[in-house]
Amino acid sequence: MGHVIAVEELVSGVVVDRARFEDVPAIVRLLADDQLGASRESPDEPEVYRGAFEDIDADPNQFLAVLRRGDRVVGTLQLTFIPGLSRRGSLRAQVEAVRVHDGERGTGLGTALMEWVERAARARGAVLVQLTSDRAREDAHRFYERLGYTPSHLGFKKRLD
C-alpha cells in the first residue's frame, strides 16, 4: 500500500497527498488545536517527531495523509492497514488523528476525506474501516455517525509512562 496511494483532488482546490517531513509542524499544529492535543503536542519541536514520521513513512501498511490547499496543510489523518486472523483473515483499515483546520470545517472537506478513506480501504481489500474517538469529542461522534459509523465497541487504554 504505502507509496501507491496517489494524490487525489477531494474538493475544489484541496488534494489529499502523502505527508512529507516538512509537513510535520503543520500536522502537529492541527493535532494540538483542541483541548486534548494542546497539552500533549509540541508544534515548535518537529525533530521530536522525526523517528515516528520515518517509521510511518517506511511502513507499507501506513499512510500519513495531508490535505493541501495550495501550499497550506488544511487537514490530516493516519490510515493503517491491519491484517488479522479474525473475520476469516480479513484486512481492517484503522483511521487515527483525523483533523481538519478550523477555517475549513463545515465545508464538506471532512466528509470528502472520510469518503477517500473508504475508497483507499476498499482498493486495498479491507473489509471494514474502524476508528476511535475520545469521549469528549461529541461533535466528532455526531460527524462519524452521520457518515454511517456505529459506536460498536468499548475501548481501553493504559499509559505505559
Return phi, psi of residue 140, to 5°: -65, -40
What's the CATH code of the domain at 136?
3.40.630.30
Angle of CA points 77, 50, 13, to nearest 5° = 35
Residue 156 domain flag: no
Residue 152 in any domain: the answer is: no
109 within a domain of the structure (yes/no)? yes
CA–CA separation, 18 and 97 (whole Å): 15
Q: Which domain holds residue 49?
A: 2-146
- pLDDT (0 to 100) of residue 5: 65
Asked if the structure places residue 155 within a domain, the reply is no
Encode pLDDT of 47-82 as tens digits. 899 999 999 999 999 999 999 999 999 999 999 999
In a domain, 29, yes or no: yes
Q: Is residue 110 part of a domain?
A: yes
pLDDT digits (tens, 9 = 90+) for 114-151: 999 999 999 999 999 999 888 888 888 999 999 999 99
pTM of the full structure: 0.89
The reply to whether 103 falls in a domain is yes
Number of domains in the chain: 1
Closest CA to 80 of 42, 128, 41, 46: 128
In a domain, 157, yes or no: no
Largest interatomic CA distance in the chain: 45
Strand, helix or coil for residue 82: strand
